[in-house]
Structure 1
Amino acid sequence: MATRGNKTAGTADTDFGPSTQLQEMLFTSMLANPDENRAFNVENIHVLRGPVDAIALGRAVDLVVERHESLRTVFVTGPEGVALRVLPAPTGALVCRDHTGGAPLSPAALEDVVRADTEHLFDLAGERPSRFTLHRTGEEEYVLVVVVHHLVLDGWSMGVLLDDLGAAYAAVRAGERPFGGERPGQLGDFARYQRELTSSPAAVPLLDFWARQLEGLQDGSTVPYDRPARPYQTFAGDRLDFELPAALARSVGEAARAERVTVAAVTLLAYQLLLREYAGQEDIVVGVPTANRVQPWTHDCVGFLTNTHCVRSKLPARTPLRDLLHATARALTDALRHQEVPLIAVYEDLIARYGADNLPPYLFRTLFICHTHRVAPLALEGVACARRPFSQQASKADITLNVWPDGAGIRCQIEYNTDLYDASTMERVAERYRGVLSDIVNDLVW
């Protein structure tokens, strides 16, 4: 069984280590497609109010980038494929910009400033893939923009980064060294671990499972396009945010508890049934990202560890909704149990078993993400920090349905490709999604 390596991807810019298979594929594709590169930026934006110590914050940023090698890792193409190279720890990674010298920034002007940061085109082969910018917008008012490329960071990692940044800020102001001597898991550790796992006997039952799940798969289910698809994937996108009515959100939670399944299972089933309506087929497949933090040493790792797998469900029209719900819950559980083998290895194995001509061009065309792992807002000692909403104008799939359940309700967001869909179509999809969820909970009650 593969285990965590003892050596990281590198501690100086002359050291190299393997990338993951997914990183290698995406990096190679992004070299020829700047739009794809930019679409994979991950942003986190906070409004800060109070006496921000910019010097201490800058030092804290440097300490966090030093601690997590992924934040200073570039990709290098060599004879054995794409490798990771860790750049030296930086000084002055935080860029400070003062906008208080003239007229106050209008909301539109501030949006333009933030968008310019978030749409930065990273040189993944030569530039540190993380940027931290502190904009001073007024007396004790700031906007902190953190942008990291998805090839080195996922959603879980952003939470680790923000926690460490808050801890480092407090330690610097107190004249202490943060983090102690404990070394977190590193991206290079994970890349080696996954490569070793994929080529080991431990991968065989995982690949066998996915081969059984995906045998005979047809082209991925999606909502019919408003315009013909181009012969290549595009990444222009927008987002539609909506919330479930409070009573419906409560009913979803109550139904999940009564059926002893997760809210993720209920909300995914609703999405699958919606796709069944739109696509006119009963064999539905949706891409579902998983955190892929099975090994304990990955829990404090900042990196691109997320894996996406296909959740495939047969949804015959006359099958009771309760039976479909429990089948969806089992499919989600099975995906989690077999999540460690990367999707690209699954696809290569499917080609070897069934032949490329017998596989669809895409295993899935839409994504479903139920965000159950909370990323807490940044906490800076003595400063009020609040997340600032921002809509990235990019989409990585035809449609991605995001669901955030919490004690106050269920918030949803549809990220969609604007080369394929009109905003009005997505508004109808959102309305129908609410209707399907209502049908499910009403059926389960009665």
Structure 2
Amino acid sequence: MESKSLTPEQKRELLAQLLKEKARQAEKVAPLSHNQRAMWFLQQLAPQSSAYNLSVSAPFPYTLDLAALRQSLQTLSDRHASLRTGYTSRAGEPFQIIRPHHPARLQQIDASGWADEQILAQMEAELRRPFDLANDDIWRTLIFSRGANDHLIQIVVHHIAADGLSIWLMLAELDALYQAALHGERLELPPLTSQYLDFVTWQAERLADAAGEQLWSFWQSYLQAYPTLDLPTDFVRPA
């Protein structure tokens, strides 16, 4: 179909498809760390579980500028590869897909007139809402607005992408980014020296060398003294 014969709507749809295809071609596929593999496996066993959800919340005592907040969240997503990573599998083997760019999501909740207990209950519900590792964003941000300068922010992220320390660092960076954006300034955060994928590579190389063989041998020998735990399975246990 020639571009001259396309309607404006068809041209927009074609452009969107081309951009998506370009983004897919730039995606990076990588293995998981052993920690991530364990969490991915458990999530497949219990896809509705929220056991590995992490949450942090804090007062947000600023004038609320949603555009500035979205801009700050997007900067976080662009800065930390783990926040724009998806997790899927092929032939039973899990892997991660690091996207070059992924939109950060923000949900505003009108909490005017809400009691503290109602807000806490809603935050608890968000914490308990499971992630679909293959199809969902790996994190979500909510802003609860009670008044002009009375807000609460909550970040929920799956443990496969963050831990208890890094989620607080995310909140601290977001606070600094937002304050700068609110004043029309651009904050240059210190450049990151590594991403989590660097650890994944290091771990794989470490366990593949002689030191890794020593670690495997130690734990195999250590665990030999314990009886085999008979769990119900669909297949015969390998020898």
Residue 43 of structure 2 is aligned to residue 34 of structure 1: no
Residue 226 of structure 2 is aligned to residue 358 of structure 1: yes
Answer whether contact 2:87 2:97 (CA < 8 A) is retained. yes
SS of the residue aligned with 1:19?
coil
Corresponding residue of 2:129: 120
Show CA shifts across 1:13-53 (max 9, x none).
43200101221122122112135x40110000112234233
Instruction: Give the total of aligned pairs.
Output: 206
Q: What does residue range 416-427 of structure 1 map to in structure 2 within 5 Å?
A: none
Which of residues 66, 77, 80 in structure 2 aligns to 1:54?
66
* C-alpha displacement of 1:90: 3.4
Distance 1:112 1:180, change over 3 A: closer
* C-alpha displacement of 1:199: 1.1
Answer whether contact 2:64 2:148 (CA < 8 A) is retained. no
TM-score with structure 2 setting the length: 0.75
Show CA shifts across 1:230-274 (max 9, x none).
xxxxxxxxxxxxxxxxxxxxxxxxxxxxxxxxxxxxxxxxxxxxx
Residue 81 of structure 2 is aligned to residue 72 of structure 1: no
Corresponding residue of 1:200: 209
Provide the identity percentage.
Answer: 23
Distance 1:360 1:168, change over 3 A: farther
Which of residues 131, 142, 149 in structure 2 aligns to 1:140?
149
- CA RMSD across the alignment: 2.7
Which of residues 147, 154, 163 in structure 1 aligns to 2:163?
154
Distance 1:38 1:81, change over 3 A: same
* Residue segments in structure 1 that go unaligned for 5+ positions in a row: 1-10, 212-348, 362-446
How far, CA to CA, are the matches of 1:124 and 1:81 in structure 2? 14
Which of residues 73, 93, 96 in structure 2 aligns to 1:81?
93
Corresponding residue of 1:163: 172
Corresponding residue of 2:191: 182
How far, CA to CA, are the matches of 1:156 and 1:207 in structure 2? 29
Answer whether contact 1:87 1:128 (CA < 8 A) is retained. no
Which stretch of structure 1 is more off in the superposition, 65-74 or 197-206?
Answer: 197-206
How far, CA to CA, are the matches of 1:27 and 1:191 in structure 2? 15
Question: 1:96 corresponds to which letter in structure 2?
Answer: Q
How far, CA to CA, are the matches of 2:224 and 2:186 in structure 1? 54
Show CA shifts across 1:349-375 (max 9, x none).
42xx366673575xxxxxxxxxxxxxx
Corresponding residue of 1:24: 37
SS of the residue aligned with 2:122?
helix
Q: What does residue range 24-423 of structure 1 map to in structure 2 within 5 Å?
A: 24-34=37-47, 37-79=49-91, 81-91=93-103, 93-100=105-112, 104-179=113-188, 182-204=191-213, 206=215, 211=218, 349-350=219-220, 353=221, 358-359=226-227, 361=229
* C-alpha displacement of 1:60: 0.5
* C-alpha displacement of 1:178: 3.2
Question: 1:148 corresponds to which letter in structure 2?
Answer: V
* C-alpha displacement of 1:147: 0.3
Answer whether contact 2:86 2:98 (CA < 8 A) is retained. yes
